[in-house]
Structure 1
Amino acid sequence: MTSGPLAARWFRVIATFEAISWTALLVAVFLKRVVDAPHEGGVPVVGMIHGVGFVIYLISTVWAARRLRWSLRVTLVGLAASIPPLCTLVFERWLVRHGKLTTGSARSSGAVAAPSRG
């Protein structure tokens, strides 16, 4: 298996995990600040999980960008998508719609494509 499909699959999983962990952190902060839940609403634990997911998302974005030959602009948007809540999912959906999570996206960057059998 080449690393392109692996990078795409890994990116999709991590983008989803990052969005879920962001949501969990927002819920935990709400519980801590508004509901005054015990144990700080789970913020320390959920915050650490989200922090790890955030870092892994950044690394997987750069890895996928290199393997799938994303432009610098697309890569920077992907990295910026990690900041607002749930934007990693929006970015991942955009990549799917525009064919940027396939190894075929390398063709648009100048790679030679195999002739099709028509």
Structure 2
Amino acid sequence: MSSIPAAPAALRLFRYVAIAEACSWAGLLAGMYFKYIAATGDLGVKIFGPVHGALFVLYVLGALAAGRTARWSTGTIALGLACAIPPFTSLWFERRMSARLATTGPATAA
């Protein structure tokens, strides 16, 4: 048995959404390449644009829920929300918060 307790559901969901949001960024960036650089069509943007938009909203909601569950400070929550904007930074933030949770526990992972 592990000495680290299982993460609450909100934190697990946040992890999954952060990973999915980063993957949708990759798809959207690839679609934008084919639309604007290679000029071969906009199918990728038509597919990944709405997917990324939905995952962006889920990431914001997940960050708020995870912040409440783990008792993150307001600054940490603001950083998590800001990390939804640049590509792939949601992964960095999620890994950072997971590492803090693993070493300090949810109440002090701010």
TM-score calculated relative to the size of structure 2: 0.86
Name the aligned partner's letter for residue 93 of structure 2.
Answer: F
User: What are the equivalent positions in structure 2 for 1:1-118 lying under 5 Å apart?
Assistant: 5-38=8-41, 40-99=42-101, 104-106=105-107, 108=108
Aligned-residue offset at 1:97: 2.0
Deviation string for 1:67-102 (max 9, x for gaps)? 111110110000000000000001011112222798
Distance change (3 Å), C-alpha of 1:54 and 1:100? farther
* Structure 2 residue ranges without an equivalent (≥5): 1-6
Shift >4 Å, 4+ stretches: none
Aligned-residue offset at 1:41: 3.7
TM-score calculated relative to the size of structure 1: 0.80
* Aligned CA-pair RMSD: 1.9
* Structure 1 residue ranges without an equivalent (≥5): 110-118
Structure ID, larger Rg: 1
CA contact (8 A) 1:28 1:43 kept: yes
The number of aligned residues is 103
